[in-house]
Amino acid sequence: MASSIESTPIRSESVPHSATGAEPIKQFDAIVIGAGVAGLYQLYRLRELGLSVLCLEDGGGVGGTWYWNRYPGCRFDSESETYGYSFSKELQQEWDWKEHYSGQPENERYLNFVADKFDLRRNIQFNSHVTAATYDKAANLWEVQLESGQRMRCQFLVAAVGILSARYIPPFEGIDSFRGQSYHTSRWPKEKVDFSGKRVAVIGTGATAVQLIPIIAKEVAHLTVFQRTPNYCAPLRNSEVSEETQRRFKATYDEIHKKCLETPAGFPYDFDRRRAMEVPKEERLKFYEELWALPGFKKWLGNFRDIMTDPVANEDFAEFVRNKIRARVKDPAVAEKLVPKDHPFGAKRIPLETEYYEAYNRDNVLLVDVRETPIERITPKGIKTTDREYEFDIIIYATGFDAITGALTRIDIRGETGQTLKEKWAGGPRTYLGLQTAGFPNFFIATNTAFCNYTVCAEKVVEWITDCIRYVRDHNYSRIAPSPEAEDAWVKHVNEVGSQTLLSGTKSWFVGDNIPGKAHAILLYANTAPAYRAKIAEVAEKGYEGFLLQ
């Protein structure tokens, strides 16, 4: 369990409360929102600059995603040795990964270990839900307000709020009437949920549900899965890390991270440089089988290089995957419900699974296709579809997130003109380099929006922000924000790059289509991670070209 120790922030000044004369407002050089993977590292780096820093964390402990998502089966789908931080050789040598794809309890322990090793807790205020942040142009300060009413000010505000942290539950009619237990997977209780003898519903079959369903299917009396869109799920093939492999990790971390920095998506493998349909069919199928036998995302990100750009190449592999699914599900009718036919392989996030499809071979598991029989409402007893009412003891909402932008737009963030970030981003995110947005000076977004292994890219984003703040202070500037022209050019570039892939034409959280009313827009930068890092480095080397420094 994560520690919930609250600590006193270092070096701050008390600023009189301008309106009420109540409790003084503490002032810091920088405030970081979020104590997850990016937020902890951002805190570490800003403290190295000698700044007074406060990190505000909504939860009772560190970890972000790995604090909140405690549902059974939750784990990395990145290789553990690549997900851990690369900035500290000591840390790499002191920590042992137990599994090749580490589970949530271990991941939370790891981030607590990091917080303790670098004494980060003294700068973190837990149980602090940020509701608003307003830029004061005259004072060149951000004022941050918490749900508790507490306020504080800073020159630099960094949002390290994560890409999958703003949970989404569809507005089902009658949702509050259910008399049983209800959970969203991203707010799972710390106490173990007892499923024995229970009738359980899972709504959703995305990556979270794919991890959860095989675990709880073995514990419940009966499980009903409500599926809207089937996914191309690929086998995770997890295993324990042997002592010999652990030694190899520790001896070769430099090479592991170098490889991750060189590949398009930050994983320790690269796309095959051949074009799929130029490879003879027999050889192509042999290659697919070899990929399928490997662990992790290599089926996706180690495939032929045109798998995400050529519809014909994509369909060739997609049908291979469909047949793999059909072979694992005994009932042909159920198998066809689980086979995706309405989107390309990889245009939605590929869930990695362990015994997911076998769960549907169990007598106590029922699959309901809500495109055939939509959910009409939640009732006191359970769930009513157009076909019938199902009675449950527990309903689990595995209904995903308002991804990428949601955690930011749910905070009332107001820039120098009073415009909110939500208003500005109504048609989709508008940033320069994914790092700042025009009209919001000294506001940084420490969220990895590149299509990349999260920690690999998040570290580089944090380091860029740190160097930028150092530059501002060393050159006696007081504020930095993108020019509107640079922002326009970047948004245009992001959309052009995204349109060259199969992502833009598919309904998914990659483009915001899972949230009713949210604008369809490319939310991830679909270029390669090395190209993104080269671009942000070039901008910095040119004295922060495209930014207005005052």
From first to last of its 550 residues, the chain has per-residue pLDDT tens of 333 222 223 333 333 333 344 578 999 999 999 999 999 999 999 999 999 999 999 999 999 999 999 999 999 999 999 999 999 999 999 999 999 999 999 999 999 999 999 999 999 999 999 999 999 999 999 999 999 999 999 999 999 999 999 999 999 999 999 999 999 999 999 999 999 999 999 999 999 999 999 999 999 999 999 999 999 999 999 999 999 999 999 999 999 999 999 999 999 999 999 999 999 999 999 999 999 999 999 999 999 999 999 999 999 999 999 999 999 999 999 999 999 999 999 998 899 999 999 999 999 999 999 999 999 999 999 999 999 999 999 999 999 999 889 999 999 999 999 999 999 999 999 999 999 999 999 999 998 777 788 899 999 999 999 999 999 999 999 999 999 999 999 999 999 998 888 877 788 888 888 999 999 888 888 889 999 999 999 999 999 999 999 9
Q: Are 527 and 308 in contact (CB under 8 A)?
A: no
Q: Are 208 and 423 in contact (CB under 8 A)?
A: no
Is the entire prediction scored with pTM above 0.85?
Answer: yes
Q: Are 385 and 373 in contact (CB under 8 A)?
A: yes
Please return the burial class of 366, using the count of CB atoms within 10 Å of its CB with bins 0-12, 13-18 and 19+: middle
CATH of domain 167-400: 3.50.50.60
What is the rounded distance in angstroms from the CA atom of residue 105 to the CA atom of residue 73?
10
- What fold does the segment set 15-62+120-166+403-482+529-549 form as a domain? FAD/NAD(P)-binding domain (3.50.50)
Q: Do domains 15-62+120-166+403-482+529-549 and 167-400 have the same CATH topology?
A: yes
- Measured in whole angstroms, the distance separating CA 56 from the mean position of its chain's CA atoms is 19
What is the rounded distance in angstroms from the CA atom of residue 56 to the CA atom of residue 404?
19
Domain ranges of the chain: 15-62+120-166+403-482+529-549, 167-400
The length of the chain is: 550
Q: Which of 146, 125, 147, 127 is nearest to 12 (CA)?
A: 125
What is the rounded distance in angstroms from the CA atom of residue 531 to the CA atom of residue 534?
5
Strands (DSSP E) contained in 379-505 are: 382-385, 389-391, 394-397, 412-414, 443-445, 480-482
**Angle separating helix axes 529-541 and 253-262, nearest 10 degrees:** 90
Residue identified by tokens 């504020």 is 479
Q: Are 134 and 127 in contact (CB under 8 A)?
A: no
